[in-house]
Amino acid sequence: MKLIKKNPILNTLSRTIIDLPAPSNITNIWNFGSLLGICLGIQLIRGIFLAIHYSSDVSLAFNCISHIIRDVDAGWFIRITHANGASLFFIAIYLHLGRNLYFNSFSLSRTWIVGVAIFLISIITAFLGYVLPWGQISFWGATVITNLLSAIPYLGQLLVEWVWGGFSVNNATLRRFFSLHYLIPFVICLLVIIHLIFLHEEKSSNPLGIQSSSDKIPFQPYFTMKDLLSLILFLFLFILINIQLPFLLIDPENFLPANPIRTPVHIQPEWYFLFAYAILRSVPNKLGGVIALAISIVILFPLVFSKINIQLNKIKPIHISFWPFIVVFLFLTWLGIKPVEHPYIEVGGIITCLYFSWFIFLIA
């Protein structure tokens, strides 16, 4: 304790974390923020160990993954938990976002904007990491997604070749993706710190929607115990999946090395991108699909201008429409794994309209 008092940095951390006044009525669904921080830290550590044995060369990348799994001590566990850890991270981030939407936490404008920025950058980071194993889906997923830039008028093809570092997805592309995938998580860590600073300034929301409540208690030990309980539960389920069903969330096609002359029958992203992928496919125009894809994430930013006031909104109409929105989101995720054919295209267009209508209802 003396060390904490003498060190200004530790003293600040103590005041903002250990002694942070928090609403006494917040429940376990407020634990996903701290769980996300722990997931991010674990992903960073595992990623560093994987990077030691990885080579960002198209002739070696796929074999490097096999080498890590087969030859490196505990390499199979590090590799599998890192791959599945991305799924755990996005499960937590979707639950965290869902809770914030349900309780109108977007009224904390600065905290919300930084949080959505973290979500957006996390999506980019996960996509870059998905390319690194250099399997069939990795290669063709990179080809399809980067080709979306060609829809931009006039500069599209130039941007695609600039991202590729050539005229196709090649060695330069893989090296760039590996470098960015390694560096961007540190940017996310910086944004997380800013996110926490704004959260402490604007104060946390609570189930009653009253930010100015004087009924507050210290974060330690009351909420650290709740966070610890959630962490133990999530880690138990996560380790169980990694031991019993380690390849459940990995596409079988990605166990084949990248082959530029053989296209997989069905190219699809990871499950946490499927809703956006379904929106992209539901628009018949390529440029329109790319714009709809971008807006499906960016539309979270304007929620800070919503007329719904967390302090004055006693009826909370967002609660009524929240669950139908969840159904729409899950429906889009399901459509993302379906082939691009009738009737999925038409149904996707209808569900996409419902998805955007919900946000327009909140903002208007």
pLDDT tens-digit readout, 114-139: 999 999 999 999 999 999 999 999 99
Catalytic residues: 200, 204, 226-227, 270
pTM comes to 0.89
Mean pLDDT of all residues in 159-177: 93
Over residues 199-238, the pLDDT tens digits come to: 887 777 777 765 555 667 777 777 778 888 888 888 898 8
Q: Is the pLDDT of residue 353 over 80?
A: yes
pLDDT level of residue 313 (50, 70, 90 thresholds): very low
Q: Given phi > 0 = left and psi -120 to 50 = alpha, else beta, which region is 165?
A: left
Q: Which of 44-53, 219-228, 297-306 has the lowest mean pLDDT?
A: 219-228
According to CATH, the superfamily of the domain at 23-267 is Cytochrome Bc1 Complex; Chain C (1.20.810.10)
Question: What are 334's two structure tokens?
Answer: 């399901």
Contact between residue 7 and residue 204 where contact means Cβ atoms under 8 Å apart: no
Return the number of other C-beta atoms located less than 10 Å from residue 291's C-beta: 16
Residue boundaries of the structural domains of the chain:
23-267, 269-364
Task: Say how many Å lie between the first and final Cα of the chain, rounded.
Answer: 51
d(CA 331, CA 345): 13
Strand pairing partners for 217? 22
Q: Confidence band (pLDDT; 50, 70, 90) for 311?
A: very low
For residue 353, count other CB atoms closer than 10 A to its CB: 12
Provide the angle, in degrees to the nearest 10, between the axes of the packed helices 136-147 and 171-202: 70
Does residue 171 register a pLDDT over 50?
A: yes
DSSP 8-state symbol, 17? I
Provide the Cα torsion 107, 109, 113, 119; round to 10°.
Answer: -30
Q: Which of 4-13, 17-26, 171-180 has the lowest mean pLDDT?
A: 4-13
Any idea which of 76-85, 148-157, 222-231 has the lowest mean pLDDT? 222-231
- Cα torsion 150, 257, 88, 143 to 10°: value is 0
**Predicted pLDDT of residue 354:** 94
- The DSSP result for 325-336, as a single string, is HHHHHHHHHHHT
